[in-house]
Amino acid sequence: MKFLDSGPMAGQISHIAGLLKSKETIAVLTHNTADGDTLGTGIALSIALQSLQKNVSLIYEEEFPDNMSVLRTEHDFYLLLTENNADIVNREWDAIVAVDTADPKLLGKREQLLKRTGCLINIDHHISNFSYGHHNLIDVNVSATAEIMYHLIVELGVQLDNDIALAIYTGISTDTGGFSYSNTTGMCHKIAARTLDFNIDVAYLRYKFFDAISLGKLHCHGYVANTLTIHDDGKYAIAVVSAETLAELGASEEDCEGLVNIGRNVCGVEASFFAREVRPGEFRINLRSRGNIDVSKIARKFDGGGHKTAAGCILYAAPSDVRSILLEAIRNE
């Protein structure tokens, strides 16, 4: 079902579809610390290209997160890049497609593959994407890259099936927080509605993507709720978790996902920061805003990026200095 008939995006989508049809060997790359959108988009595209008899590889370097294992299909295009894959690294590709990847740095070791093609296609919806591809299909107004992928797959003339529908539904559902963030639009509901013509277990996916919680994460929740600090008449919330605390709580990196929302949800808070120490003196910062503050501007001060309401960056500091550095950055914004 075609939902996009005219406008600049329709033209760009048909250009990229034509380009892909003219290529034979194609690598699809998802970003690291993979989420439902990059995986869903990458898998949907790989299925579509394989059905067009393309020689396609979906190259990844981190195992799928637990809650996304449901996405993994029976196809043979999955290619795990490990340290000693010289053959993958040196392979030439007619085209490489990076999906949902604002910056090639997010590709990790796979960034080096990019020079192995004269046709790098960059498909994304992040405002911080700097059009690093030879061809760029970027729409910052869509909820998820999976939305762009739906239009592209329709344009390629590929029929939806269960696997494609699940992949597209996952990308849109996860990037919109279950159709509840401000990026939720009529179009993303239309596309999701179309995917529900297939065998999608909405309740099970809701549980997997949003509700299921490990004990480590639950303990992290408790710690963050108890140690969160509120600043400037309740406008800003900051939570800092050291590596030592994470180890004591038995919490993994994955367990920290979404903890920034605890502060964001406090009444009156406009911007929330969650800082977790990944190596001594190195903090990964998640930033969230309720919409009045553009947190991507603050993330960029520390070489990070993202969207107006959700961004991330790395901060090098002593644990005791993290709060004051973040406060100064937002007060000077």
Write the burial class of residue 216 (CB in 10 Å: 0-12 exposed, 13-18 middle, 19+ buried). middle
Q: Which of residues 86-105 bind Mn ion (CB under 5 A)?
A: 100
* 279-282-284 Cα angle (round to 5): 100
Q: Which one-letter DSSP state was computed for residue 69?
A: G
| Greatest pairwise CA separation for the chain in angstroms | 60
Terminal CA-to-CA distance of the chain, rounded, Å? 44
What order of strands is seen across the sheet that includes strand 229-231? 229-231, 236-241, 271-279, 282-289, 310-316, 305-306
CA dist., res. 20 & res. 48, Å (int):
11
Distance of CA 115 to the CA centre of its chain: 23
Closest approach, Cβ 129 to Mn ion, in A, equals 11
Closest approach, Cβ 65 to Mn ion, in A, equals 15
Contacts with Mn ion: how many residues (CB under 5 A)?
5
Q: Which of residues 238-277 bind Mn ion (CB under 5 A)?
A: none
- Residue 175 or 294 having the CB closest to Mn ion: 175
Closest approach, Cβ 299 to Mn ion, in A, equals 16
Q: Which of residues 23-42 bind Mn ion (CB under 5 A)?
A: 37
Q: Which one-letter DSSP state was computed for residue 77?
A: -
Determine the length of the chain: 333
Give residue number: closest CB to Mn ion: 37
What x/- string results for residues 204 through 243 when contact with Mn ion is judged by CB under 5 A? Answer: ----------------------------------------
Q: Is residue 124 involved in binding Mn ion (CB under 5 A)?
A: no
Q: Which of residues 278-317 bind Mn ion (CB under 5 A)?
A: none
Closest approach, Cβ 34 to Mn ion, in A, equals 11
Q: Which stretch binds Mn ion (CB under 5 A): 159-167, 168-176, 290-298, 318-326?
A: 168-176
Closest approach, Cβ 85 to Mn ion, in A, equals 27
Positions that interact with Mn ion (CB under 5 A): 37, 100, 144-145, 175
